[in-house]
Amino acid sequence: MSTHPFDHAIALQPLGGDRFAGATSPAYANMVGPFGGVSAATLLNAVMQHPQRLGDPVALTVNFAAAVADGAFEVLARPVRTNRSTQHWVVELHQGGEVSSTATVVTAVERETWAVQDHAMPDVPAPEAVPSPARRGMVEWVRRYDMRFIEGELPTEWDGSGSSSRTQVWIRDAQPRALDACSIASMADGFFPRVWLRRATMVPVGTVSMTVYFHAGAAEMASTGTGWLLGQAQAQVFRHGFADQQAQLWNEAGQLLATTHQIVYYKS
Amino acid sequence: MSTHPFDHAIALQPLGGDRFAGATSPAYANMVGPFGGVSAATLLNAVMQHPQRLGDPVALTVNFAAAVADGAFEVLARPVRTNRSTQHWVVELHQGGEVSSTATVVTAVERETWAVQDHAMPDVPAPEAVPSPARRGMVEWVRRYDMRFIEGELPTEWDGSGSSSRTQVWIRDAQPRALDACSIASMADGFFPRVWLRRATMVPVGTVSMTVYFHAGAAEMASTGTGWLLGQAQAQVFRHGFADQQAQLWNEAGQLLATTHQIVYYKS
Protein backbone atom coordinates (compact mmCIF):
# COMPACT_ATOMS: atom_id res chain seq x y z
CA MET A 1 0.00 0.00 0.00
CA SER A 2 1.41 3.37 -1.05
CA THR A 3 2.01 5.85 1.69
CA HIS A 4 1.59 8.81 -0.67
CA PRO A 5 -1.19 11.13 0.54
CA PHE A 6 -2.74 11.19 -2.95
CA ASP A 7 -3.09 7.41 -3.05
CA HIS A 8 -4.56 7.53 0.42
CA ALA A 9 -7.03 10.25 -0.64
CA ILE A 10 -8.34 8.41 -3.72
CA ALA A 11 -8.33 4.94 -2.14
CA LEU A 12 -11.50 2.88 -2.55
CA GLN A 13 -12.56 -0.39 -0.96
CA PRO A 14 -14.50 -2.75 -3.24
CA LEU A 15 -17.97 -3.47 -1.89
CA GLY A 16 -18.80 -5.99 -4.62
CA GLY A 17 -20.19 -5.44 -8.09
CA ASP A 18 -19.97 -1.80 -9.17
CA ARG A 19 -19.80 -0.36 -5.63
CA PHE A 20 -16.80 1.10 -3.83
CA ALA A 21 -16.38 2.79 -0.43
CA GLY A 22 -14.20 5.86 0.09
CA ALA A 23 -13.70 8.77 2.44
CA THR A 24 -12.47 12.33 2.14
CA SER A 25 -8.89 13.05 3.18
CA PRO A 26 -7.95 15.99 5.40
CA ALA A 27 -4.69 16.30 3.42
CA TYR A 28 -6.67 17.52 0.39
CA ALA A 29 -9.26 19.67 2.16
CA ASN A 30 -10.56 22.73 0.33
CA MET A 31 -12.33 25.69 1.91
CA VAL A 32 -15.49 23.57 2.12
CA GLY A 33 -15.16 19.80 1.73
CA PRO A 34 -12.47 18.14 -0.41
CA PHE A 35 -10.53 19.58 -3.36
CA GLY A 36 -12.55 18.90 -6.52
CA GLY A 37 -9.54 17.50 -8.33
CA VAL A 38 -9.22 14.72 -5.81
CA SER A 39 -12.94 14.01 -6.04
CA ALA A 40 -12.56 13.74 -9.82
CA ALA A 41 -9.58 11.43 -9.39
CA THR A 42 -11.52 9.29 -6.93
CA LEU A 43 -14.42 8.87 -9.36
CA LEU A 44 -11.92 7.92 -12.05
CA ASN A 45 -10.20 5.54 -9.64
CA ALA A 46 -13.42 3.54 -9.28
CA VAL A 47 -13.18 2.83 -13.01
CA MET A 48 -9.45 2.10 -12.76
CA GLN A 49 -10.07 -0.47 -10.02
CA HIS A 50 -13.15 -2.04 -11.62
CA PRO A 51 -12.41 -5.65 -12.65
CA GLN A 52 -14.27 -5.18 -15.95
CA ARG A 53 -12.24 -2.18 -17.14
CA LEU A 54 -11.03 -2.27 -20.74
CA GLY A 55 -8.12 0.03 -21.61
CA ASP A 56 -7.10 3.37 -20.20
CA PRO A 57 -8.89 6.71 -19.78
CA VAL A 58 -9.47 8.81 -22.90
CA ALA A 59 -12.13 11.19 -21.56
CA LEU A 60 -13.49 12.06 -18.13
CA THR A 61 -16.33 14.45 -17.35
CA VAL A 62 -17.20 15.16 -13.73
CA ASN A 63 -20.26 17.11 -12.69
CA PHE A 64 -20.09 18.53 -9.19
CA ALA A 65 -23.74 18.42 -8.21
CA ALA A 66 -23.28 19.36 -4.57
CA ALA A 67 -20.47 19.90 -2.10
CA VAL A 68 -19.01 16.63 -0.86
CA ALA A 69 -19.10 16.63 2.94
CA ASP A 70 -16.06 15.53 4.92
CA GLY A 71 -16.39 11.85 5.72
CA ALA A 72 -17.41 8.60 4.06
CA PHE A 73 -19.04 8.17 0.66
CA GLU A 74 -19.84 5.44 -1.82
CA VAL A 75 -18.99 5.35 -5.53
CA LEU A 76 -21.04 3.44 -8.09
CA ALA A 77 -19.19 2.82 -11.37
CA ARG A 78 -21.21 1.11 -14.11
CA PRO A 79 -19.75 -0.02 -17.46
CA VAL A 80 -22.77 0.86 -19.62
CA ARG A 81 -21.30 -0.18 -22.97
CA THR A 82 -18.27 -2.28 -23.83
CA ASN A 83 -17.11 -2.31 -27.44
CA ARG A 84 -14.17 -4.14 -28.98
CA SER A 85 -11.61 -1.51 -28.02
CA THR A 86 -13.54 1.21 -26.14
CA GLN A 87 -15.73 1.26 -23.05
CA HIS A 88 -18.23 3.77 -21.63
CA TRP A 89 -18.85 4.33 -17.94
CA VAL A 90 -21.38 6.19 -15.81
CA VAL A 91 -20.18 6.92 -12.28
CA GLU A 92 -21.96 8.42 -9.27
CA LEU A 93 -20.74 9.51 -5.87
CA HIS A 94 -23.38 8.96 -3.20
CA GLN A 95 -23.33 10.50 0.22
CA GLY A 96 -26.07 10.72 2.81
CA GLY A 97 -28.54 9.06 0.46
CA GLU A 98 -28.05 11.65 -2.27
CA VAL A 99 -25.97 11.99 -5.44
CA SER A 100 -23.15 14.48 -4.84
CA SER A 101 -21.21 14.05 -8.10
CA THR A 102 -21.65 12.27 -11.39
CA ALA A 103 -19.08 11.35 -13.98
CA THR A 104 -18.78 9.72 -17.35
CA VAL A 105 -15.58 8.02 -18.44
CA VAL A 106 -14.43 6.65 -21.78
CA THR A 107 -11.60 4.12 -21.75
CA ALA A 108 -9.86 2.65 -24.76
CA VAL A 109 -7.14 0.15 -25.56
CA GLU A 110 -4.00 2.10 -26.43
CA ARG A 111 -3.05 2.13 -30.11
CA GLU A 112 -0.15 3.55 -32.08
CA THR A 113 -1.30 5.76 -34.97
CA TRP A 114 -0.28 8.74 -37.04
CA ALA A 115 0.31 11.56 -34.56
CA VAL A 116 1.05 15.26 -34.51
CA GLN A 117 0.99 17.90 -31.81
CA ASP A 118 -0.09 21.36 -32.95
CA HIS A 119 -0.25 23.14 -29.61
CA ALA A 120 3.41 23.54 -28.65
CA MET A 121 4.38 24.17 -25.06
CA PRO A 122 4.84 27.91 -24.50
CA ASP A 123 8.40 29.13 -24.24
CA VAL A 124 8.77 29.58 -20.48
CA PRO A 125 11.64 29.46 -17.96
CA ALA A 126 12.54 26.04 -16.56
CA PRO A 127 10.80 25.16 -13.27
CA GLU A 128 14.06 25.38 -11.35
CA ALA A 129 14.38 29.00 -12.51
CA VAL A 130 10.95 30.02 -11.21
CA PRO A 131 10.68 30.85 -7.50
CA SER A 132 8.12 29.27 -5.19
CA PRO A 133 5.29 31.60 -4.25
CA ALA A 134 6.14 33.71 -1.22
CA ARG A 135 2.93 32.69 0.51
CA ARG A 136 1.69 29.14 0.49
CA GLY A 137 -1.90 28.15 -0.01
CA MET A 138 -4.66 29.19 2.26
CA VAL A 139 -6.18 25.73 1.97
CA GLU A 140 -4.69 22.34 2.70
CA TRP A 141 -4.75 20.76 -0.79
CA VAL A 142 -2.56 23.49 -2.26
CA ARG A 143 0.25 22.33 0.06
CA ARG A 144 0.15 18.90 -1.61
CA TYR A 145 1.45 20.47 -4.81
CA ASP A 146 4.61 22.33 -5.69
CA MET A 147 3.59 25.22 -7.94
CA ARG A 148 5.86 27.71 -9.69
CA PHE A 149 3.95 30.55 -11.31
CA ILE A 150 5.31 32.07 -14.49
CA GLU A 151 2.24 34.22 -15.12
CA GLY A 152 -1.16 34.76 -13.56
CA GLU A 153 -0.59 33.92 -9.92
CA LEU A 154 -3.34 34.79 -7.45
CA PRO A 155 -3.64 38.59 -7.24
CA THR A 156 -1.69 40.17 -4.41
CA GLU A 157 -4.01 43.19 -4.37
CA TRP A 158 -7.75 42.46 -4.49
CA ASP A 159 -8.52 45.83 -6.02
CA GLY A 160 -10.62 44.95 -9.06
CA SER A 161 -7.73 45.71 -11.39
CA GLY A 162 -7.51 42.41 -13.31
CA SER A 163 -7.13 42.37 -17.08
CA SER A 164 -6.18 38.81 -18.08
CA SER A 165 -7.34 35.37 -16.98
CA ARG A 166 -4.26 33.49 -18.16
CA THR A 167 -2.09 31.46 -15.81
CA GLN A 168 1.10 29.58 -16.65
CA VAL A 169 2.37 27.40 -13.82
CA TRP A 170 4.75 24.50 -13.30
CA ILE A 171 3.08 21.94 -11.06
CA ARG A 172 3.94 18.56 -9.55
CA ASP A 173 3.12 16.57 -6.44
CA ALA A 174 5.00 18.09 -3.50
CA GLN A 175 5.86 14.56 -2.42
CA PRO A 176 7.12 12.89 -5.60
CA ARG A 177 4.67 10.47 -7.25
CA ALA A 178 4.82 9.00 -10.76
CA LEU A 179 2.19 10.52 -13.03
CA ASP A 180 -0.93 8.51 -13.87
CA ALA A 181 -4.41 9.24 -15.14
CA CYS A 182 -5.75 9.92 -11.65
CA SER A 183 -3.08 12.51 -10.85
CA ILE A 184 -3.62 14.16 -14.24
CA ALA A 185 -7.35 14.40 -13.45
CA SER A 186 -6.55 16.03 -10.14
CA MET A 187 -4.01 18.51 -11.50
CA ALA A 188 -6.46 19.44 -14.27
CA ASP A 189 -8.53 21.04 -11.50
CA GLY A 190 -5.48 22.65 -9.88
CA PHE A 191 -5.97 26.13 -11.33
CA PHE A 192 -7.59 28.63 -8.99
CA PRO A 193 -10.79 30.23 -10.33
CA ARG A 194 -10.22 32.37 -13.44
CA VAL A 195 -12.76 34.91 -12.22
CA TRP A 196 -10.58 35.75 -9.20
CA LEU A 197 -7.65 36.52 -11.48
CA ARG A 198 -9.65 38.33 -14.17
CA ARG A 199 -11.41 40.62 -11.69
CA ALA A 200 -8.82 40.75 -8.92
CA THR A 201 -11.91 40.23 -6.81
CA MET A 202 -12.67 37.25 -4.60
CA VAL A 203 -16.23 36.10 -5.15
CA PRO A 204 -17.82 32.77 -4.17
CA VAL A 205 -17.12 30.17 -6.89
CA GLY A 206 -17.51 26.48 -7.61
CA THR A 207 -16.65 24.23 -10.53
CA VAL A 208 -19.87 22.81 -11.94
CA SER A 209 -18.54 20.52 -14.66
CA MET A 210 -15.01 19.54 -15.72
CA THR A 211 -13.83 17.50 -18.69
CA VAL A 212 -10.36 16.01 -19.15
CA TYR A 213 -9.06 14.48 -22.37
CA PHE A 214 -6.05 12.20 -21.83
CA HIS A 215 -3.46 12.26 -24.61
CA ALA A 216 -0.73 10.39 -22.72
CA GLY A 217 -0.16 6.71 -23.31
CA ALA A 218 1.98 4.41 -21.19
CA ALA A 219 5.21 5.67 -22.76
CA GLU A 220 4.42 9.36 -22.19
CA MET A 221 3.32 8.63 -18.60
CA ALA A 222 6.52 6.68 -17.89
CA SER A 223 8.85 9.27 -19.39
CA THR A 224 7.11 12.02 -17.38
CA GLY A 225 7.43 10.09 -14.13
CA THR A 226 7.72 12.41 -11.16
CA GLY A 227 8.65 15.39 -13.36
CA TRP A 228 6.98 18.76 -13.66
CA LEU A 229 3.91 19.56 -15.75
CA LEU A 230 3.42 22.96 -17.30
CA GLY A 231 -0.18 24.04 -16.89
CA GLN A 232 -1.77 26.86 -18.85
CA ALA A 233 -5.33 27.98 -18.17
CA GLN A 234 -7.49 30.75 -19.57
CA ALA A 235 -11.15 31.76 -19.70
CA GLN A 236 -12.95 32.86 -22.84
CA VAL A 237 -16.13 34.34 -21.41
CA PHE A 238 -17.78 35.24 -18.08
CA ARG A 239 -21.53 35.71 -18.33
CA HIS A 240 -24.73 34.89 -16.43
CA GLY A 241 -22.75 33.69 -13.44
CA PHE A 242 -20.69 31.07 -15.25
CA ALA A 243 -17.18 31.22 -16.73
CA ASP A 244 -15.41 28.69 -18.89
CA GLN A 245 -11.80 27.60 -18.48
CA GLN A 246 -9.67 25.90 -21.10
CA ALA A 247 -6.35 24.45 -20.05
CA GLN A 248 -3.44 22.31 -21.15
CA LEU A 249 -0.89 20.18 -19.31
CA TRP A 250 2.49 19.50 -20.95
CA ASN A 251 5.42 17.55 -19.52
CA GLU A 252 8.91 19.06 -19.42
CA ALA A 253 9.71 17.44 -22.77
CA GLY A 254 6.87 19.50 -24.27
CA GLN A 255 4.42 16.64 -24.85
CA LEU A 256 0.81 17.72 -24.45
CA LEU A 257 -0.47 15.10 -21.99
CA ALA A 258 -3.96 16.43 -21.32
CA THR A 259 -6.39 19.08 -22.49
CA THR A 260 -9.11 20.09 -20.07
CA HIS A 261 -12.10 22.39 -19.76
CA GLN A 262 -14.44 23.41 -17.04
CA ILE A 263 -17.38 25.66 -16.37
CA VAL A 264 -17.34 27.50 -13.08
CA TYR A 265 -20.15 29.13 -11.15
CA TYR A 266 -19.45 32.57 -9.73
CA LYS A 267 -21.62 34.79 -7.61
CA SER A 268 -22.52 38.35 -8.63
CA MET B 1 -46.29 21.51 -34.13
CA SER B 2 -43.34 22.98 -35.97
CA THR B 3 -42.76 21.78 -39.48
CA HIS B 4 -39.04 22.50 -39.30
CA PRO B 5 -36.99 19.36 -40.01
CA PHE B 6 -34.83 19.96 -36.93
CA ASP B 7 -37.85 20.02 -34.63
CA HIS B 8 -39.09 16.87 -36.30
CA ALA B 9 -35.69 15.19 -35.87
CA ILE B 10 -35.37 15.92 -32.14
CA ALA B 11 -39.05 15.33 -31.29
CA LEU B 12 -39.77 13.08 -28.32
CA GLN B 13 -43.00 11.57 -27.07
CA PRO B 14 -43.34 11.37 -23.28
CA LEU B 15 -43.77 7.78 -22.09
CA GLY B 16 -44.31 8.79 -18.46
CA GLY B 17 -41.78 9.49 -15.75
CA ASP B 18 -38.28 9.99 -17.11
CA ARG B 19 -38.87 8.07 -20.37
CA PHE B 20 -39.29 9.48 -23.86
CA ALA B 21 -39.65 7.86 -27.29
CA GLY B 22 -37.91 9.15 -30.40
CA ALA B 23 -36.75 8.06 -33.82
CA THR B 24 -33.96 8.97 -36.20
CA SER B 25 -34.78 11.34 -39.05
CA PRO B 26 -33.65 10.69 -42.65
CA ALA B 27 -33.24 14.47 -43.07
CA TYR B 28 -30.23 14.38 -40.71
CA ALA B 29 -28.67 11.10 -41.82
CA ASN B 30 -24.90 10.79 -41.62
CA MET B 31 -22.77 8.22 -43.43
CA VAL B 32 -23.85 5.64 -40.86
CA GLY B 33 -26.86 6.41 -38.68
CA PRO B 34 -27.86 9.92 -37.66
CA PHE B 35 -25.69 13.07 -37.40
CA GLY B 36 -24.19 13.15 -33.91
CA GLY B 37 -25.21 16.78 -33.40
CA VAL B 38 -28.87 15.86 -33.74
CA SER B 39 -28.41 12.93 -31.35
CA ALA B 40 -26.85 15.34 -28.85
CA ALA B 41 -29.75 17.77 -29.35
CA THR B 42 -32.26 14.96 -28.87
CA LEU B 43 -30.68 13.91 -25.57
CA LEU B 44 -30.78 17.55 -24.47
CA ASN B 45 -34.37 17.83 -25.64
CA ALA B 46 -35.41 15.11 -23.19
CA VAL B 47 -34.22 17.40 -20.42
CA MET B 48 -35.88 20.44 -22.03
CA GLN B 49 -39.22 18.60 -22.14
CA HIS B 50 -38.96 17.04 -18.70
CA PRO B 51 -41.64 18.49 -16.38
CA GLN B 52 -39.16 18.71 -13.49
CA ARG B 53 -36.59 20.82 -15.35
CA LEU B 54 -35.18 23.82 -13.46
CA GLY B 55 -33.57 26.54 -15.57
CA ASP B 56 -31.73 26.37 -18.86
CA PRO B 57 -28.71 24.39 -20.08
CA VAL B 58 -25.28 25.47 -18.85
CA ALA B 59 -23.30 22.34 -19.74
CA LEU B 60 -23.93 19.25 -21.86
CA THR B 61 -21.60 16.29 -22.28
CA VAL B 62 -22.60 13.53 -24.69
CA ASN B 63 -20.71 10.25 -24.96
CA PHE B 64 -21.30 8.38 -28.19
CA ALA B 65 -20.96 4.80 -26.98
CA ALA B 66 -22.09 3.12 -30.17
CA ALA B 67 -23.57 4.06 -33.53
CA VAL B 68 -27.27 4.86 -33.30
CA ALA B 69 -29.12 2.71 -35.81
CA ASP B 70 -31.78 4.22 -38.04
CA GLY B 71 -35.16 3.79 -36.39
CA ALA B 72 -36.80 4.09 -32.99
CA PHE B 73 -35.06 4.64 -29.66
CA GLU B 74 -35.90 5.53 -26.09
CA VAL B 75 -34.36 8.27 -23.96
CA LEU B 76 -34.18 8.11 -20.18
CA ALA B 77 -33.55 11.52 -18.54
CA ARG B 78 -33.11 11.46 -14.75
CA PRO B 79 -32.76 14.58 -12.59
CA VAL B 80 -30.20 13.20 -10.11
CA ARG B 81 -29.78 16.33 -8.02
CA THR B 82 -31.86 19.49 -7.79
CA ASN B 83 -30.40 22.43 -5.91
CA ARG B 84 -31.89 25.87 -5.31
CA SER B 85 -30.83 27.27 -8.68
CA THR B 86 -29.01 24.42 -10.47
CA GLN B 87 -29.94 20.91 -11.49
CA HIS B 88 -27.93 17.86 -12.60
CA TRP B 89 -29.13 15.26 -15.10
CA VAL B 90 -28.00 11.85 -16.30
CA VAL B 91 -29.42 10.88 -19.68
CA GLU B 92 -29.20 7.63 -21.65
CA LEU B 93 -30.30 6.70 -25.15
CA HIS B 94 -31.42 3.08 -25.33
CA GLN B 95 -31.85 1.13 -28.54
CA GLY B 96 -32.22 -2.61 -29.04
CA GLY B 97 -31.84 -3.27 -25.32
CA GLU B 98 -28.46 -1.51 -25.13
CA VAL B 99 -27.13 1.93 -24.22
CA SER B 100 -26.06 3.74 -27.39
CA SER B 101 -25.29 7.17 -25.92
CA THR B 102 -25.05 8.75 -22.49
CA ALA B 103 -25.17 12.39 -21.51
CA THR B 104 -24.94 14.60 -18.50
CA VAL B 105 -26.61 17.99 -18.40
CA VAL B 106 -26.40 20.88 -15.97
CA THR B 107 -29.22 23.41 -16.00
CA ALA B 108 -29.40 26.65 -14.02
CA VAL B 109 -31.77 29.52 -13.45
CA GLU B 110 -30.51 32.46 -15.48
CA ARG B 111 -28.90 35.27 -13.50
CA GLU B 112 -27.45 38.66 -14.36
CA THR B 113 -23.91 39.12 -13.07
CA TRP B 114 -20.66 40.87 -13.80
CA ALA B 115 -19.69 39.79 -17.31
CA VAL B 116 -16.80 40.11 -19.73
CA GLN B 117 -15.93 38.38 -22.97
CA ASP B 118 -12.21 37.85 -23.57
CA HIS B 119 -12.33 35.75 -26.73
CA ALA B 120 -13.39 38.23 -29.39
CA MET B 121 -14.88 37.04 -32.64
CA PRO B 122 -12.16 36.82 -35.31
CA ASP B 123 -12.16 39.56 -37.91
CA VAL B 124 -13.73 37.76 -40.88
CA PRO B 125 -15.79 38.79 -43.93
CA ALA B 126 -19.56 39.03 -43.45
CA PRO B 127 -21.47 35.85 -44.33
CA GLU B 128 -23.05 37.51 -47.37
CA ALA B 129 -19.55 38.14 -48.72
CA VAL B 130 -18.49 34.48 -48.45
CA PRO B 131 -19.55 32.14 -51.28
CA SER B 132 -21.39 28.88 -50.70
CA PRO B 133 -19.21 25.81 -51.20
CA ALA B 134 -19.15 24.68 -54.83
CA ARG B 135 -20.06 21.14 -53.83
CA ARG B 136 -22.71 20.43 -51.25
CA GLY B 137 -22.37 17.78 -48.61
CA MET B 138 -21.95 14.14 -49.36
CA VAL B 139 -24.30 13.33 -46.52
CA GLU B 140 -27.86 14.41 -45.90
CA TRP B 141 -27.43 16.40 -42.64
CA VAL B 142 -24.98 18.80 -44.23
CA ARG B 143 -27.79 19.97 -46.54
CA ARG B 144 -29.81 21.06 -43.50
CA TYR B 145 -27.22 23.78 -42.85
CA ASP B 146 -26.04 26.76 -44.83
CA MET B 147 -22.26 26.91 -44.39
CA ARG B 148 -19.89 29.58 -45.71
CA PHE B 149 -16.24 28.65 -45.21
CA ILE B 150 -13.76 31.42 -44.58
CA GLU B 151 -10.89 29.05 -43.80
CA GLY B 152 -10.35 25.32 -43.49
CA GLU B 153 -13.00 23.87 -45.76
CA LEU B 154 -12.80 20.16 -46.55
CA PRO B 155 -9.67 19.51 -48.63
CA THR B 156 -10.24 19.46 -52.38
CA GLU B 157 -7.16 17.28 -52.90
CA TRP B 158 -6.79 14.30 -50.56
CA ASP B 159 -3.04 14.23 -51.01
CA GLY B 160 -1.74 14.19 -47.44
CA SER B 161 -0.67 17.82 -47.70
CA GLY B 162 -2.51 19.32 -44.71
CA SER B 163 -0.77 21.71 -42.33
CA SER B 164 -3.49 23.32 -40.16
CA SER B 165 -6.61 21.99 -38.44
CA ARG B 166 -8.38 25.36 -38.14
CA THR B 167 -11.77 26.02 -39.68
CA GLN B 168 -13.71 29.28 -39.67
CA VAL B 169 -17.24 28.95 -41.00
CA TRP B 170 -20.49 30.88 -40.95
CA ILE B 171 -23.33 28.44 -40.22
CA ARG B 172 -27.11 28.59 -39.84
CA ASP B 173 -30.08 26.36 -40.42
CA ALA B 174 -30.75 26.19 -44.17
CA GLN B 175 -34.45 26.59 -43.39
CA PRO B 176 -34.57 29.50 -40.94
CA ARG B 177 -35.15 28.54 -37.30
CA ALA B 178 -34.69 30.70 -34.20
CA LEU B 179 -31.65 29.64 -32.20
CA ASP B 180 -32.13 27.66 -29.00
CA ALA B 181 -30.01 25.40 -26.80
CA CYS B 182 -30.84 22.32 -28.88
CA SER B 183 -29.75 23.90 -32.16
CA ILE B 184 -26.56 25.19 -30.52
CA ALA B 185 -25.82 21.64 -29.33
CA SER B 186 -26.30 20.36 -32.86
CA MET B 187 -24.20 23.04 -34.56
CA ALA B 188 -21.45 22.45 -31.98
CA ASP B 189 -20.97 19.09 -33.70
CA GLY B 190 -21.19 20.62 -37.18
CA PHE B 191 -17.44 20.74 -37.87
CA PHE B 192 -16.12 17.92 -40.02
CA PRO B 193 -13.32 15.87 -38.40
CA ARG B 194 -10.16 17.89 -37.78
CA VAL B 195 -8.01 14.91 -38.73
CA TRP B 196 -9.35 15.01 -42.31
CA LEU B 197 -8.29 18.64 -42.63
CA ARG B 198 -4.96 18.31 -40.83
CA ARG B 199 -3.84 15.31 -42.89
CA ALA B 200 -5.75 15.93 -46.12
CA THR B 201 -6.45 12.25 -45.74
CA MET B 202 -9.84 10.65 -45.20
CA VAL B 203 -9.64 8.05 -42.44
CA PRO B 204 -12.49 6.45 -40.49
CA VAL B 205 -13.50 8.71 -37.58
CA GLY B 206 -16.11 9.06 -34.88
CA THR B 207 -16.76 11.55 -32.09
CA VAL B 208 -16.44 9.74 -28.78
CA SER B 209 -17.33 12.52 -26.35
CA MET B 210 -18.52 16.10 -26.83
CA THR B 211 -19.03 18.87 -24.30
CA VAL B 212 -20.92 22.13 -24.88
CA TYR B 213 -20.94 25.10 -22.51
CA PHE B 214 -23.84 27.48 -23.11
CA HIS B 215 -23.07 31.15 -22.55
CA ALA B 216 -26.24 32.54 -24.16
CA GLY B 217 -29.15 33.60 -22.03
CA ALA B 218 -32.64 34.40 -23.24
CA ALA B 219 -31.62 37.86 -24.47
CA GLU B 220 -28.65 36.61 -26.49
CA MET B 221 -30.75 33.80 -27.97
CA ALA B 222 -33.52 36.20 -28.95
CA SER B 223 -31.20 38.76 -30.51
CA THR B 224 -29.48 36.04 -32.52
CA GLY B 225 -32.76 34.64 -33.80
CA THR B 226 -32.37 33.10 -37.24
CA GLY B 227 -29.04 34.83 -37.86
CA TRP B 228 -25.67 33.36 -38.66
CA LEU B 229 -23.21 31.90 -36.17
CA LEU B 230 -19.47 32.08 -36.74
CA GLY B 231 -17.88 28.76 -35.85
CA GLN B 232 -14.18 28.30 -35.27
CA ALA B 233 -12.70 24.87 -34.58
CA GLN B 234 -9.16 23.63 -34.09
CA ALA B 235 -7.33 20.58 -32.74
CA GLN B 236 -4.41 20.73 -30.34
CA VAL B 237 -3.10 17.18 -30.55
CA PHE B 238 -3.58 13.92 -32.47
CA ARG B 239 -2.13 10.89 -30.70
CA HIS B 240 -2.94 7.24 -29.96
CA GLY B 241 -5.92 7.34 -32.32
CA PHE B 242 -7.73 10.26 -30.66
CA ALA B 243 -7.74 13.97 -31.47
CA ASP B 244 -9.21 16.82 -29.50
CA GLN B 245 -11.25 19.68 -30.97
CA GLN B 246 -11.88 23.02 -29.32
CA ALA B 247 -14.44 25.32 -30.89
CA GLN B 248 -16.41 28.53 -30.41
CA LEU B 249 -19.73 29.79 -31.74
CA TRP B 250 -20.34 33.56 -31.94
CA ASN B 251 -23.40 35.36 -33.27
CA GLU B 252 -23.07 38.10 -35.89
CA ALA B 253 -22.94 40.72 -33.14
CA GLY B 254 -19.78 39.02 -31.85
CA GLN B 255 -21.27 37.52 -28.69
CA LEU B 256 -19.65 34.21 -27.76
CA LEU B 257 -22.72 31.99 -27.36
CA ALA B 258 -21.10 28.63 -26.81
CA THR B 259 -17.70 27.03 -26.27
CA THR B 260 -17.38 23.38 -27.12
CA HIS B 261 -14.88 20.54 -27.11
CA GLN B 262 -14.78 17.02 -28.34
CA ILE B 263 -12.51 14.02 -28.58
CA VAL B 264 -12.60 12.13 -31.82
CA TYR B 265 -11.49 8.60 -32.63
CA TYR B 266 -9.51 8.14 -35.83
CA LYS B 267 -8.17 5.01 -37.41
CA SER B 268 -4.46 4.55 -38.22
Identify all chain B residues contacting A110, using CB atoms and an 8 Å cutoff: 240
What is the 3 state secondary structure string of chain B? CCCCHHHHHHCCEEEECCEEEEECCHHHECCCCECHHHHHHHHHHHHHHCCCCCCEEEEEEEEECCCCCCCEEEEEEEEEEECCCEEEEEEEEEECCEEEEEEEEEEECCCCCCCEECCCCCCCCCHHHCCCCCCCCCCHHHHHEEEEEEECCCCCCCCCCCCCCCEEEEEEECCCCCCCHHHHHHHCCCCCCHHHHHHCCCCCEEEEEEEEEECCCHHHHHHHCCCCEEEEEECCEEECCEEEEEEEEEECCCCEEEEEEEEEEECC
Q: B210 to chain A nearest CA, in Å?
A: 10
Please check the confidence at residue B134 and state whether its pLDDT lies above 80: no
Provide the shortest C-alpha distance from residue B143 to chain A (in Å): 31
Contact A259 B267 (CB under 8 A): no
Q: Please say if the pLDDT value at position A72 is more than 80.
A: yes
Q: Is B54 on the interface with A (CB under 8 A)?
A: no
Nearest CA-CA distance, residue A197 and chain B, Å: 13
Task: Select the residue of B59, B242, B268 nearest A58 (Cβ to Cβ).
Answer: B242
Lowest average pLDDT, out of A59-63, A149-153, B62-66, B132-136, goes to: B132-136
Q: What is the pLDDT of residue B232?
A: 98
Interchain pair A111, B236: CB under 8 A: no
Q: Which residues of chain B from 102 to 141 reach within 8 Å of chain A, CB to CB?
A: 102, 104, 106, 108, 110-119
Question: A1 pLDDT exceeds 70?
Answer: no
ipTM score = 0.97
Q: What's the average model confidence in pLDDT over B65-77?
A: 97
Q: Is the pLDDT of residue B159 over 70?
A: yes
Going by pLDDT thresholds of 50, 70 and 90, the confidence category of residue B135 is low
**B222 to chain A, minimum CA–CA distance in Å?**
15
For chain A, what percent of residues have pLDDT higher than 90? 94
Q: What is the mean pLDDT of chain B?
A: 96
Residue A113 three-state SS? coil
Given this model, what pLDDT does residue B137 score? 63
Does the beta-carbon distance from B65 to A81 stay under 8 Å?
Answer: yes
CA distance B229 to chain A (A): 17
Average the pLDDT over A61-80 and give the result.
97
CA distance B69 to chain A (A): 15
Query: Is the pTM higher than 0.95?
Result: yes
Min CA distance, A140 vs chain B (Å)? 27
- Asked whether the beta carbons of B231 and B197 are under 8 A apart, the reply is no
A82 interfacial to chain B (CB closer than 8 Å):
no
Nearest residue, CB atoms, A238 vs list B92, B114, B239: B114
Angle, CA of B207, B31 and B198, to the nearest 5°: 50
Q: Do B80 and A100 touch (CB under 8 A)?
A: no
A59–B80 C-beta distance less than 8 A: no
Query: Which residues in chain A are closer than 8 Å to B57, comparing Cβ atoms?
Result: none
pLDDT at residue A137 in the model: 63
B204: contact with A, CB 8 A cutoff: no
Nearest to B165 among A99, A118, A268 (CB): A118
Confidence of residue A156 (pLDDT cuts 50, 70, 90): confident
CA distance A147 to A157: 20
B113:A267 CB<8 A = yes
A199 CB within 8 Å of a chain B CB: yes
Does A198 sit within 8 Å of B240, measured CB to CB? no
- Range A157-178 average pLDDT: 96
A239 touches chain B (CB under 8 A): yes
Query: CB of B261 within 8 Å of any CB in chain A?
Result: yes
